[in-house]
Chains A and B, each alone.
Chain A
């Protein structure tokens, strides 16, 4: 039976309570009659033979590109870059698709007699990955073959000798990327396109770039002019990356590999997270009640540990390789095939339950900035056409939003939250007054390069991701969040969904139309 497409449910009196994620837990909420709930499409079937699909993609490239084996020759410098810990979410069960694809690339390199091979985790300004995380992403065989010899690297955007300036785009954007990647005879980039935003020229132009370069597209202006950044043709973020990528392509031979995954996101014991409530099986119900009861008695740190140990059964749904733009068009079509849900019209209020994880807190704490970014940056932007909520509408997020940070991973976030947001929450003011000093702060640079810290500027990007939503919305309400943390961000705290809906009426009027985003698993709302 083919998987069912996404679905927009209209809540009536017979509708069972709706599941809302709530950090390391979930709630069942009764939405008012007439509310809409957007459910993601069911997972596409996994490719029958992933290794054969990989082989086929490498040897039958898309666009103006030779097969990979034809690009490999003895004595060449080969660099293989790959997406970092931020993808996929949750981390996938072994074998990770990156390791699988890179093994195939390495087999071909070996067959062609290529000796000078370096792997680079494309961190951009993200934290470095631990050895365990690298081993998981690449598999033990690759890790053990490269890491001991110093040929498994992590991109260091602050290494003055490790970056090279490739010039400027016609818009004056500095293009500075990883020297090893730029000076290789062939750069292979292995993507995981979890959402429509991923991949394309963004992979190299962001993943292997420096702050000098990234600042041209990670800023308030581009975010406010990306409607949305999940729709690359209407995304200023992507337009800038595309200009940079085309400049890079003039001097760097790139072989792009983009993979898409299905939305089989949670293991079977969490099956109720994948299914629609009225279709919950006995096992789903038992799973829901058992985990809810257990979580209630579990300390927060242990809950975090439990959830972060989840390994997703994500399966490869497509792979395409070759020339970057042709590859990306195919990958995007495959993302849309899995995730698009047609939604008619906007509503006054959008609600969403936020889970325990976002791209920047894998094995870490979902701090308040990440809560905001996940809700207002990512989930709000999961649309094509128009936002799900109307201009001036209200966004209701459900998350505990603890005033808690991981000081190893997010040191500059703490200062951003304590100092910057205490002063102003206006993204433009934040950018103007504080970005440069955080980005250049030598301690943050030191921690980014030598510890496991996100770059000093990273919390700014989290706030910028929210800029479009903050500009669009009349109010943001957080249900069940730490009140001080919620207020620090300029949002309103509410103790229950009912309270939040009542507060929303003060902004959008009585009896508002309501749409709930039932995710993850992820979808992309095609709002017409």
Chain B
């Protein structure tokens, strides 16, 4: 079968890193660790596992970090090479009790999927994302499908998944909506972790897929008083606004916008620019995770406020003096599991399905590519905002009049429910 594969070849990681630093994101795709290969389909690891054929598989920010050789070395012990990336997956089940059904993959590989019984405390309490055994059990290490050698990943013709990882997609929900469920689940989890009290001023830094989904989740599951979104590009500004941001500002305008919204005082630099706020927002969701955005978050959150790290950070250099002096809570928000809701515990994915449908998040899917054009796809995803896109996906459907060789398809209006209705457009916008 065809699969995009990442192998542990340090010189290729180094080359990709160097190229991306010099020439911009994904510019080292040709020399980096990702390659298209003919590989054997993964074996079923044990009982409860099924074979899946992906329909759409998204390209996530963490995938781009990996492809660029920019991921933190923290992940080394919890991934296993070679692996097939792709953890945002809507797929057809090929065998087992759900054969023939369309499912969304919940990629975290927790205790149940790993055959560990009794499960760890986190898994037992439904917090799969916090599983303590992601490097153990009958699977090789891998925090998620898409980082584990044994499972394969969404960027291929076939992968395997444990039944505990599968969520059946309602017939009414199109593939483009379904492929948004996983990132939406991350956004829901982060939003609920942020515990926004009604009326609080909230900032969402970054307007890629995660940032926009967090804006949507805040509007759906919380009652922020003022919701300020930071967006660089026009398409992001429009989407942030339509998803519920009260104010959408450019990165350089953030401190002023938060200061205005909160009536805060500010501490200035010697040129009169705002160095940081004396007060600030109650909660900041950093959906980028760079040194700059973490520093910005700390500069605009109020003393005693919360900063939720939603975007995947790496090794960053940040002055933590404000964290200490202002008693700011810095929270990591990874993956999903079970959420405490007023009506009782609910699966994050269940809530994510609800959000995708309510907010129409399928509109974030901007372009679809076949696997063969992975270099273009990854470059497009890495420069999505600048090129007027948000979510770029691989289209692995095998409809009549196959896409193969036909160029990329785009679901510009997000309404396309399946590949059969896809409209051919120029991919390189």
A interface residues with partner B (beta carbon < 8 Å): 406-409, 411, 414-415, 418-419, 437, 441-443, 446, 451
Chain B's closest residue to A411 (CB) is B272
Q: How many angstroms from the CA of A229 to the CA of B268 in the assembled complex?
A: 37
CB pair B265–A406 under 8 Å, yes or no, is: no
Given contacts A414-B256, A415-B256, A418-B257, contact A442 B273 (CB under 8 A): no
User: What sequence of 0s and 1s flags, for each residue 261-278 of chain B, a beta carbon within 8 Å of any chain A beta carbon?
Assistant: 001111010011110000
Residue B253 is within 8 A (CB to CB) of chain A in the complex: yes
Using Cβ atoms and an 8 Å threshold, which residues of chain B touch A415?
256-257, 259-260
Given contacts A419-B247, A443-B266, contact A408 B256 (CB under 8 A): no
CB pair B253–A418 under 8 Å, yes or no, is: yes
Chain B's closest residue to A440 (CB) is B263
Interface of B is mostly: mixed
Nearest 7 interchain pairs by C-beta: A407-B272, A408-B272, A443-B265, A418-B253, A415-B256, A415-B260, A407-B273
A181 to chain B, nearest CB (A): 29
CB pair B260–A419 under 8 Å, yes or no, is: yes
CB pair B271–A442 under 8 Å, yes or no, is: no
Residue B249 is within 8 A (CB to CB) of chain A in the complex: yes
Q: How many angstroms from the CA of A414 to the CA of B257 in the assembled complex?
A: 10
Q: How many angstroms from the CA of A144 to the CA of B264 in the assembled complex?
A: 38
CB pair A441–B260 under 8 Å, yes or no, is: yes
Within 8 A of A (CB), among B301-325: none
CB pair B259–A443 under 8 Å, yes or no, is: yes
CB pair B263–A441 under 8 Å, yes or no, is: yes
Q: How many angstroms from the CA of A414 to the CA of B271 in the assembled complex?
A: 14
Give 9 CB contacts A-B under 8 Å. A407-B272, A408-B271, A411-B272, A415-B260, A419-B247, A419-B257, A437-B260, A441-B263, A443-B265
Chain B's closest residue to A410 (CB) is B272
Chain A's closest residue to B274 (CB) is A407
Using Cβ atoms and an 8 Å threshold, which residues of chain B touch A411?
272
A406, A418, A419, A442: which contacts B272 (Cβ < 8 A)?
A406
Q: How many angstroms from the CA of A411 to the CA of B265 in the assembled complex?
A: 12
Chain A's closest residue to B256 (CB) is A415
B228 to chain A, nearest CB (A): 11
Using Cβ atoms and an 8 Å threshold, which residues of chain A touch B268?
407
A407-B271, A419-B257, A443-B264 known; 11 new pairs, CB 8 Å cut-off, are: A407-B272, A407-B273, A408-B271, A409-B272, A415-B257, A418-B257, A419-B256, A442-B265, A443-B263, A443-B266, A446-B265
A446 to chain B, nearest CB (A): 6
Using Cβ atoms and an 8 Å threshold, which residues of chain A touch B247?
419
B374 to chain A, nearest CB (A): 37
Using Cβ atoms and an 8 Å threshold, which residues of chain A touch B263?
441-443
Using Cβ atoms and an 8 Å threshold, which residues of chain B touch A446?
265
Most chain-B CB neighbours within 10 Å: which of A407, A415, A443?
A443
CB pair B265–A418 under 8 Å, yes or no, is: no
Q: Count residues of chain B with CB under 8 A from any CB of chain A.
A: 16
Q: How many angstroms from the CA of A419 to the CA of B226 in the assembled complex?
A: 14
Q: How many angstroms from the CA of A369 to the CA of B260 in the assembled complex?
A: 19
Q: How many angstroms from the CA of A414 to the CA of B250 in the assembled complex?
A: 13
A420 to chain B, nearest CB (A): 10
Q: How many angstroms from the CA of A58 to the CA of B264 in the assembled complex?
A: 49
Q: How many angstroms from the CA of A437 to the CA of B274 in the assembled complex?
A: 19
A363 to chain B, nearest CB (A): 14
Q: How many angstroms from the CA of A419 to the CA of B263 in the assembled complex?
A: 14
Within 8 A of A (CB), among B225-259: 247, 249, 253, 256-257, 259
User: What sequence of 0s and 1s flags, for each residue 198-232 of chain B, a beta carbon within 8 Å of any chain A beta carbon?
Assistant: 00000000000000000000000000000000000
Using Cβ atoms and an 8 Å threshold, which residues of chain B touch A418?
249, 253, 256-257
A315 to chain B, nearest CB (A): 36
A368 to chain B, nearest CB (A): 15
Chain B's closest residue to A443 (CB) is B265
Using Cβ atoms and an 8 Å threshold, which residues of chain B touch A442?
263, 265
A207 to chain B, nearest CB (A): 25
A441 to chain B, nearest CB (A): 6
Chain B's closest residue to A452 (CB) is B272
B22 to chain A, nearest CB (A): 29
Chain B's closest residue to A408 (CB) is B272
Using Cβ atoms and an 8 Å threshold, which residues of chain A touch B274?
407
Q: How many angstroms from the CA of A419 to the CA of B248 in the assembled complex?
A: 9
B299 to chain A, nearest CB (A): 15
A451 to chain B, nearest CB (A): 8
B262 to chain A, nearest CB (A): 10
B334 to chain A, nearest CB (A): 34
Chain A's closest residue to B273 (CB) is A407
Using Cβ atoms and an 8 Å threshold, which residues of chain B touch A419?
247, 256-257, 260
Q: How many angstroms from the CA of A151 to the CA of B260 in the assembled complex?
A: 35
Most chain-A CB neighbours within 10 Å: which of B256, B257, B260?
B260
A421 to chain B, nearest CB (A): 13
Within 8 A of A (CB), among B366-408: none
Chain A's closest residue to B264 (CB) is A443
Q: How many angstroms from the CA of A414 to the CA of B253 in the assembled complex?
A: 9
Q: How many angstroms from the CA of A419 to the CA of B228 in the assembled complex?
A: 12
Using Cβ atoms and an 8 Å threshold, which residues of chain A touch B265?
442-443, 446
Q: How many angstroms from the CA of A208 to the CA of B268 in the assembled complex?
A: 28
Using Cβ atoms and an 8 Å threshold, which residues of chain B touch A409?
272
Using Cβ atoms and an 8 Å threshold, which residues of chain A touch B256?
414-415, 418-419
Using Cβ atoms and an 8 Å threshold, which residues of chain B touch A451?
272
Within 8 A of A (CB), among B118-147: none
User: What sequence of 0s and 1s flags, for each residue 93-104 of chain B, a beta carbon within 8 Å of any chain A beta carbon?
Assistant: 000000000000
Q: How many angstroms from the CA of A499 to the CA of B136 in the assembled complex?
A: 72
Q: How many angstroms from the CA of A451 to the CA of B266 in the assembled complex?
A: 13
Using Cβ atoms and an 8 Å threshold, which residues of chain A touch B253?
418
B201 to chain A, nearest CB (A): 14
B348 to chain A, nearest CB (A): 35
Using Cβ atoms and an 8 Å threshold, which residues of chain B touch A437?
260
Q: How many angstroms from the CA of A419 to the CA of B249 in the assembled complex?
A: 9
Q: How many angstroms from the CA of A432 to the CA of B259 in the assembled complex?
A: 20
Q: How many angstroms from the CA of A441 to the CA of B273 in the assembled complex?
A: 17
Q: How many angstroms from the CA of A415 to the CA of B263 in the assembled complex?
A: 12
Chain A's closest residue to B270 (CB) is A408
Q: How many angstroms from the CA of A446 to the CA of B268 in the assembled complex?
A: 12
B231 to chain A, nearest CB (A): 13
Q: How many angstroms from the CA of A408 to the CA of B272 in the assembled complex?
A: 5
A415 to chain B, nearest CB (A): 5
Q: How many angstroms from the CA of A441 to the CA of B260 in the assembled complex?
A: 8
Chain B's closest residue to A409 (CB) is B272
Using Cβ atoms and an 8 Å threshold, which residues of chain A touch B273?
407
Chain B's closest residue to A416 (CB) is B260
Using Cβ atoms and an 8 Å threshold, which residues of chain A touch B272?
406-409, 411, 451
Using Cβ atoms and an 8 Å threshold, which residues of chain B touch A408?
271-272
Chain A's closest residue to B261 (CB) is A419
Q: How many angstroms from the CA of A316 to the CA of B186 in the assembled complex?
A: 72
Q: How many angstroms from the CA of A408 to the CA of B259 in the assembled complex?
A: 16
Using Cβ atoms and an 8 Å threshold, which residues of chain B touch A414?
256
Q: How many angstroms from the CA of A411 to the CA of B274 in the assembled complex?
A: 10
B255 to chain A, nearest CB (A): 11
Q: How many angstroms from the CA of A409 to the CA of B272 in the assembled complex?
A: 8
Q: How many angstroms from the CA of A437 to the CA of B260 in the assembled complex?
A: 9
Q: How many angstroms from the CA of A408 to the CA of B253 in the assembled complex?
A: 16
Using Cβ atoms and an 8 Å threshold, which residues of chain A touch B257?
415, 418-419
Chain B's closest residue to A423 (CB) is B247
A359 to chain B, nearest CB (A): 20
B80 to chain A, nearest CB (A): 48
Q: How many angstroms from the CA of A411 to the CA of B271 in the assembled complex?
A: 11
Chain A's closest residue to B265 (CB) is A443
Q: How many angstroms from the CA of A419 to the CA of B273 in the assembled complex?
A: 17
Q: How many angstroms from the CA of A446 to the CA of B279 in the assembled complex?
A: 15
Chain B's closest residue to A446 (CB) is B265
Q: How many angstroms from the CA of A409 to the CA of B266 in the assembled complex?
A: 15
Within 8 A of A (CB), among B273-303: 273-274
A238 to chain B, nearest CB (A): 33
Q: How many angstroms from the CA of A121 to the CA of B266 in the assembled complex?
A: 27
Q: How many angstroms from the CA of A446 to the CA of B273 in the assembled complex?
A: 15
Using Cβ atoms and an 8 Å threshold, which residues of chain B touch A443?
259, 263-266
